[in-house]
Every structure is written in structure tokens, then in C-alpha cells.
Amino acid sequence: MVSDKVSIHGAWASRWVFILAATGSAVGLGNIWKFPYMTGMYGGGAFVIMYLLCIFLVGLPIMLAETLIGRRGRQSPVNALGALALESGASPRWSWAALMGMIAALLILSFYSVIAGWSLDYIMGMGAGQFEGISAEGAGGAFGALTADPWRLTLWHTLFMLLTGFVIARGVVAGLERSLRVMMPLLFVLLLVLLGYSMTTGHFMQGFHFLFDFQPDRLLDGVLAALGHAFFTLSVGVGSIMVYGAYMPKRASIGSTVLAVGILDTLVALTAGLALFPIVFAAGMEPGAGPGLMFVTLPVAFGNIALGQAMGTLFFVLVLIAAWTSSISMLEPAVAYLVERTRRSRVLITSVLALLCWLVGMGTVLSFNVGAEAKFFVFAVDGFHLFQWGAEGGRNFFDSIDYLTSRILLPAGGLAFVLFAGWVLKREAVREELAIDNPLLFGLVYWLIRVVAPLGILVVFVAELMK
């Protein structure tokens, strides 16, 4: 029997709202900012192939697992996992996986807010016409000036965190639906316009080849990065999709819904890459520029086309919206959990958690300027150091949190969730939730959840350790 329970936090009006919400969560900075710069860093096509494999063989099965666990549990991820474990005769300690995911999501929010804040700065800059006719060096300089200024970064980081907290405090179900319906399609249209522009740069094919041709010797360079990014871009491994699943109508088909979300997310990432790289090449810049890629190349493009300032402003507004619909999904699992656990008001809990994430985010703010030399995870000749000022290797605060979440916590959380859905929940329960009538198709999907996705995660981990 499909569960009749309802979440105390509310429920989506239809499965379409789940698609909007989950796509809103999935499509974000990961697609428009991170995917293109990672592709640049890890060798173009070689990275794209690994990324696609990770999305379809590992990411989507986890998204399925999360959605069905959430919908069957009808509570925050921590409590859903605990209750379902008990129901299945397993240890309630499974809920620790969700607890870890919840913390990972808060850590991601801490730096996500800082980067999303950059788009606020660019909205103002573009709106004021500061990028009119700008050169590649000029745009690089403007970006450098922004990241070098902790006060300016703090201002936008604070504002973005307030935006996120505001929506969550009011309840996701109430405020979100209407804006998502307008903003998500608009984001698609704008990306397509940008793609159209990049086709006119004369470097479109160069960008295309960069994305889709691959050097076989680079295939393994970025496997763990590709896997980590597959998790990040689909928002899986932390419980965000699980908590949205808890608000999903009970009759909706999970399989096709999740597939739609995965395909939309992948399309946005590929389109962003196709739109960006020709512009990078046309401006004579390097695709391996790292995190600044979007914030340096796009202003050059927008600064030099007709109506560019208006379009650029609108583009960064949409980047902001994409980031905002993602950031709320990072906060929701923890807020839902604490509301269930403490029965305190949503507003109070949201405020405390947002403040906490804001504080941790200050570490990221400082990573780009005065704290750039504070290095963590340093492997040196004299051994391993957790922290060392000015060390040769190691990662700054932002890179450390990014590494810890994308490369370790998300895959570990994802592994726990698929194992739970595949091996702890009864086969009948999974069949009921997925509602896939064709036995062959169900067998295939179930095998992906039970065997392929967990093995994929393990193999990539081991391969990376042996490198």
C-alpha cells in the first residue's frame, strides 16, 4: 500500500510543482558557473563524458532513491530514514547518513551564498553600465577588485543569505511556486539567447570541439571531480531532493519525474558550456581560468554587443534566481528536521541556521583576499598538516569546504541513500513507490539502485585513492 501519511510542513499541489522545485534545486551555480569552469580545468570532452556517465548511472539512481525515501517517510530526511529503518527492521542509525547530508548541505550553503552574492554585485555593475565596451583585461581586473574586497563580498553574502532565509521562513510551498513558474522558463530562454550570440562569435565550433572532443589520456584526470560534480549539480547526497520528495503527491510517478529533472539539469549545463566557451575563445582567454570564468568572460561578451548591458543585467538576475532556488533547498532539510524535533517556530529555526551558515561563509569571503594563505589539508614532506599558514600545497578555506562536500560528503551520503533504498527497504515498497508497471524496466532500475550506483561510487573512490 502506498503511504497515506502527509508531511506536517505541507505538500506540493501537483507533481509539476515537484519538478519545478527539484529542477530549481538542481539548476543553479553548479550548471552555469561550476560546470563550465570544471570542464575547462579537466580537459573539456574527457570531463564531459565522465560527467554524463556519472549523472545517468549514479546520480539519477540516487535521485530516485532519495525521492522515494522522502515520499514514503513524509518527514525530514533524518526522521524519514529513522522511521523507515525501524519499519524495515534495520538499525535507526541509518538516520546518521541524513544527518551528515544535512550538515553537508549547510556547509555548501555557506560558500554558495558568497558566490551567489557575486551575481548581485554584477547586477548592479551591469545595470550601471560599468562593463560597456570592456576588454578581457578590464573584466579580469573588475573581478579581481571584487574578490579582493572583503567588505563588498560580505555585503552581498549577507543579502543573499537574507533572501534565502526569507523564503524558507515563509514556507517553501507558499512563496515559491509562482516565481519558479516564471523564472525557470525565462532562464532557459536567456541561455538560448546567449547560445545564439555565441554562434555569431565565429568561435562556436572551437567551443563545440572543446566540449565534445576528448583526449583519451585525460579521461581519468577528473573522474572523482566528475562524480562529485554529478552529485552537486543534481543536489543529491544531502537530502534536499529527499525533503522535496516528502512533499510530493502520493500518486505521481517518481521515475519519469526524476528523469525529467535530470535531463533538464544536464541540458542547462551543456547549453551553458556551449554558450560560454566560444565567448571565451573569441575573447582570446583561457578555458582553464577557474572559478572566475563566468564572471570574467560573460561581462566581456555583454560589454561588447548591442543591448549587452540590459541583457547582461537580466542574465545575472537569472543566475541569482537559479542560485536562490537552489540555496533554499539546502536549508530546508535542516529546518524541517529541527521544526519536527523542537516544535519551535520555523522563523526562529531558520534565523539561527542562516546565521550559522553566514558565519561559516565568512571563511569563504576571506579565502579570496586576506585569508588566501590560510591553507588546510596540507600534505608536505614532513607529513600531513590540517592547517598551515602560507603552505605550498593545501587548500584555502573555500576550496576545503568545496572539496570536503563535493568529493567526500556528497558521494558518501549518496552511497548510504542508494544502499538504503536498494538493500534495506523491501523490494515491494520500492516497487510501490516507483510504480513502474513493466517488470523488465523495474528490474533494470532496481539493479541500477542496488548494484550499479553503489559500485560506481566505490570504484571511483578506490581509483582515486590508488592514483
Interface residue with ligand PFF among 18, 20, 24, 30 (CB under 6 A) is: 30
The distance of closest approach from Cβ of residue 190 to ligand PFF in the complex, given in angstroms and rounded to an integer, is: 16
Task: Note whether 238 binds ligand PFF by CB under 6 A.
Answer: yes
Please tell me the count of residues contacting ligand PFF according to CB under 6 A. Answer: 16
Let me know: does 65 contact 420? Beta carbons within 8 Å.
yes
Interface residue with ligand PFF among 23, 31, 67, 95 (CB under 6 A) is: 31
- b/e map of 3-39 (b: 16 or more CB within 10 Å)? eeeebebebbeebebbbbbbbbbbbbbbbbbbbbbbb
Amino acid at 139: A
The distance of closest approach from Cβ of residue 366 to ligand PFF in the complex, given in angstroms and rounded to an integer, is: 22
Q: Which residue has the cell 556528497?
A: 410
Q: For residues 239 and 299, which CB has a smaller minimum distance to ligand PFF in the complex?
A: 239
Interface residue with ligand PFF among 23, 76, 235, 309 (CB under 6 A) is: 235
Q: Which stretch binds ligand PFF (CB under 6 A): 22-30, 167-175, 255-263, 373-381?
A: 22-30
Interface residue with ligand PFF among 20, 29, 319, 335 (CB under 6 A) is: 29
The distance of closest approach from Cβ of residue 455 to ligand PFF in the complex, given in angstroms and rounded to an integer, is: 23
Q: For residues 76 and 240, which CB has a smaller minimum distance to ligand PFF in the complex?
A: 240
Sign of the alpha-carbon torsion through 108, 114, 117, 118: negative
The distance of closest approach from Cβ of residue 246 to ligand PFF in the complex, given in angstroms and rounded to an integer, is: 14
Give the chain's length: 467
The distance of closest approach from Cβ of residue 226 to ligand PFF in the complex, given in angstroms and rounded to an integer, is: 14
Task: Note whether 25 binds ligand PFF by CB under 6 A.
Answer: yes
- As a whole number of angstroms, the distance between CA 155 and CA 412 comes to 34
Interface residue with ligand PFF among 24, 28, 262, 292 (CB under 6 A) is: 28
Task: Note whether 240 binds ligand PFF by CB under 6 A.
Answer: yes
The distance of closest approach from Cβ of residue 410 to ligand PFF in the complex, given in angstroms and rounded to an integer, is: 8
Q: For residues 68 and 105, which CB has a smaller minimum distance to ligand PFF in the complex?
A: 105
Let me know: does 329 contact 164? Beta carbons within 8 Å.
no
Binding mask 329-368 for ligand PFF (x = CB under 6 A): xx--------------------------------------
Task: Note whether 232 binds ligand PFF by CB under 6 A.
Answer: yes
Let me know: does 69 contact 241? Beta carbons within 8 Å.
no
The distance of closest approach from Cβ of residue 467 to ligand PFF in the complex, given in angstroms and rounded to an integer, is: 26
Of the candidates 303, 298, 279, 293, which has an alpha carbon nearest to the alpha carbon of residue 128?
Answer: 303
Task: Note whether 233 binds ligand PFF by CB under 6 A.
Answer: yes
Residue 384 DSSP SS3: strand
Of the candidates 81, 19, 14, 55, which has an alpha carbon nearest to the alpha carbon of residue 261?
Answer: 19
The Cβ of residue 73 has, within 10 Å, a number of other Cβ atoms equal to 26
Cell of 376: 588546510
Instruction: List Cβ neighbours of 396 (8 Å cut-off, separation of 6 or more).
Output: 367, 371, 372, 373, 374, 375, 376
Of the candidates 69, 115, 104, which has an alpha carbon nearest to the alpha carbon of residue 410?
Answer: 104
The distance of closest approach from Cβ of residue 191 to ligand PFF in the complex, given in angstroms and rounded to an integer, is: 14
Task: Note whether 105 binds ligand PFF by CB under 6 A.
Answer: yes
Residue-by-residue DSSP string for 146-165:
HHT-HHHHHHHHHHHHHHHH
Q: For residues 142 and 241, which CB has a smaller minimum distance to ligand PFF in the complex?
A: 241
The Cβ of residue 133 has, within 10 Å, a number of other Cβ atoms equal to 10
Residues forming contacts to ligand PFF in the complex (CB under 6 A) are 25-26, 28-31, 105, 108, 232-233, 235, 238, 240, 326, 329-330
